[in-house]
Structure 1
């Protein structure tokens, strides 16, 4: 993700309850008999042709819009051309939020997909729905070598030693900075800030130069989650919801207060400005040379470098953290692929074959170069396509190094909770209150913790 979650995605207890009522709760109530459906998921024989001779149909629901839709379609076309026993149909379903709503509506019917892309913060819901077959089942049965995956990427989707879904589009946040503005402010463009304190000093210098505002960070809950992980801090209790189900938000603990206090000081001293929640507004201001530093997803790198071409040189650096922070790292964002368990066994097996194809180094290299998302396969970096791309966009080495230097633990694996999309919106509201001088950092985060914890507990009761 690193992709902006749209508002209105809240997983209220009522929605969860309704979804749970329509889900196969693992008791084998769904029919395994293929039949025609309006979604075209099940097999139907062509006129005069035995069904057994037709390729098995796999329907893939995804949320990759814009130029990325074409990349997904090409991956699917490549797979379909590689063999004749399985035919995958990719169906774009809108935003992540739209996709989740459509998936919920399809649960308990034969109208849903064989495999669905779900953003990372929907992981707890997908597991609790009991509507999926864990990826680990296919991995174990096939004796598939899971070590070929990037461990810090697979780690997010692994709970209790089990990989529940296959990582697909993966990103993390990095600091982007304008090297020309650094020079104009008397800063060394080869030495970007690594700490909160260094960033404040650099932002002050850029603002005082009169060339631009020092920095801008979009009000995005994902950044707060990342700042926690980068301090080695957990975002919810019970091992970030990984040793057992999360029951309490920790957003109001010291790491969170430290982040908001620093952020507000940047705004108050004019070292940074506030352009609101839209990450696109932050990117536009950076590309126009109006701000010296922004935080953004690694998936935005190619677009930012291209937009600055001929105007200024883009530099990249690790996500900053307090100078006294504990050892931490970044959490991967994006989405993964989930196999739906109400599909016939042979369809699920066909889906697994498609997923394996997507993980191959060649396909991962193509995916990475054309979208900006990380390859999930370690061997993809050996592909010439990736090597050439790194020569063209050397800034991406920052993202690779940051990912590889992150030590996997419960903090950097990322939090898991059933109301994560809603919690993210609550945190964004708290950040706004602080930056707009309505509440102190501690007051705003205390209120956010109380609201999120209440929603977590309601969700947990509903799931039980």
Structure 2
């Protein structure tokens, strides 16, 4: 009898031989949408590789959405015009947007009935990431974690130790202030908080706090932890970001150009920052600062959902989704995105992936915080996107020093309760 590792390796071998078998027996076209567009190279390679493995199948790829929420809006418009894609790679926090509307196709039947090698190569966690109320509606594709990136050249100029970059919020804010004081247009710290609520949740979860209580009848961020989070954000703004408020893309471009000392961003930007820093400045990567022994962190990234309703298109969609979440697709994720693969079998059984992470020490702090990850919370109801905007606007008002933490928290709490129609 094979041991566990042998069984996993056997499943991978079978999957490698059988990838595309079901789809290659017919001609067809599959429409795929994906976010975000700054990962263009990954999405294109994913589509091209699948086509190469499946002669006769064309992948019509649309990865023009700049953010997950842009993709959500585009997808909801497609639903109105009855033109949904067959497969869509959505932000993990927007799963219930589509389950609540009955748009995402349940996958339990596909998972239970499929006995192929490519199905065996999907770790249980791949389905668990996309599970909601006992049904799987998506397959995990890539995992993003909140990460700290350092321009060590600027850190050193500001008196920091390149072997021990600042790790706590207090240390980061102090070095950030000194970097800003160097002038020449430098910004000490950028905390990415004006595109979505990922980093708002990160600073809350790092204190062991939550967005809502277990039965979603009460918001939990209207609390001492919420006020502490906003006070930290106020200090970050005061260290320089308030005077140089930038969009998410502008901030990433500024860091890549060597003008930002420290940036809080998704690990998906690692390949971009590696390329930009080469020969320009020394890059370092750190884990998100933790504020409690009960700390957790939100897991972002991408999940693959099926929207196809025609049975034949569903077969193609399922085959493509298995490919994306399987060994070949997960290798592309690791090499092209900076995301961590969602399929733990790929991490455990793929020599290529093991070597990739072993040769790149930048991933070490990210991998260390994987045990702390929890789902990037999505608020209930049809006003979920509006709640996100309320939170982003509140955090931004504190970052730009236009509202006090106390006033912003009061506004965020009141407007969220109103949108969710709750009393407390």
Q: Shorter-chain TM-score: which interval?
A: 0.7 to 0.9
CA distance, structure 2, for counterparts of residue 208 and residue 354 of structure 1: 51
Determine helix, strand or coil for the equivalent of 1:133. coil
Determine helix, strand or coil for the equivalent of 1:78. helix
Question: Displacement, 1:207?
Answer: 5.2
TM-score scaled by length of structure 1: 0.73
Q: Which residue, 29, 41, 45 being the options, matches 1:74?
A: 45
CA distance, structure 2, for counterparts of residue 103 and residue 289 of structure 1: 36
Distance 1:74 1:203, change over 3 A: closer
- The question of whether the paired residues in 1 share the 8 Å contact of 2:271 and 2:336 is answered with no
1:198 corresponds to 2:174: no
1:448 aligned residue: 412
- The question of whether the paired residues in 1 share the 8 Å contact of 2:394 and 2:412 is answered with yes
Q: 325-334 or 100-109, which moves further after superposition?
A: 100-109
1:360 corresponds to 2:326: yes
1:309 corresponds to 2:278: yes
- The question of whether the paired residues in 1 share the 8 Å contact of 2:122 and 2:322 is answered with no
Deviations 1:6-55 (Å, cap 9, x if unpaired)? xxxxxxxxxxxxxxxxxxxxxxxxxxxxxxxxxxxxxxxxxxxxxxx853
- Give 1:209-224 correspondences, 5 Å limit: 213-220=187-194, 221-224=197-200
CA distance, structure 1, for counterparts of residue 155 and residue 78 of structure 2: 52
1:92 aligned residue: 62
Q: Which stretches in structure 1 are left out of the alignment for 5+ residues?
A: 1-52, 239-243, 459-464
Question: Displacement, 1:301?
Answer: 1.1
CA distance, structure 2, for counterparts of residue 214 and residue 101 of structure 1: 34
Distance 1:253 1:353, change over 3 A: same
Question: Displacement, 1:154?
Answer: 5.8
CA distance, structure 2, for counterparts of residue 215 and residue 164 of structure 1: 38
Aligned pairs, number: 387
1:295 aligned residue: 264
Q: Which residue, 191, 195, 205 being the options, matches 1:229?
A: 205
Deviations 1:113-149 (Å, cap 9, x if unpaired)? 2222222332221011112222333212326458726
Question: Displacement, 1:315?
Answer: 0.8
1:257 corresponds to 2:231: no
Q: Which residue, 92, 102, 105 being the options, matches 1:133?
A: 105
CA distance, structure 2, for counterparts of residue 72 and residue 262 of structure 1: 36
Determine helix, strand or coil for the equivalent of 1:168. strand
Deviations 1:256-312 (Å, cap 9, x if unpaired)? 2111112213433x3655532512232233334333211011111111122122222
- The question of whether the paired residues in 2 share the 8 Å contact of 1:214 and 1:272 is answered with yes
Determine helix, strand or coil for the equivalent of 1:235. coil
Question: Displacement, 1:101?
Answer: 3.7
Q: Which residue, 18, 30, 36 being the options, matches 1:58?
A: 30
Q: Which stretches in structure 2 are left out of the alignment for 5+ residues?
A: 1-24
CA distance, structure 1, for counterparts of residue 80 and residue 156 of structure 2: 60
- The question of whether the paired residues in 2 share the 8 Å contact of 1:200 and 1:271 is answered with no
- The question of whether the paired residues in 1 share the 8 Å contact of 2:198 and 2:376 is answered with no
- Give 1:113-152 correspondences, 5 Å limit: 113-142=85-114, 144-145=119-120, 148=123, 151=125
Q: Which residue, 319, 334, 339 being the options, matches 2:306?
A: 339
TM-score scaled by length of structure 2: 0.79
- The question of whether the paired residues in 1 share the 8 Å contact of 2:242 and 2:401 is answered with no
Q: Which residue, 352, 356, 376 being the options, matches 1:414?
A: 376
CA distance, structure 2, for counterparts of residue 126 and residue 383 of structure 1: 33
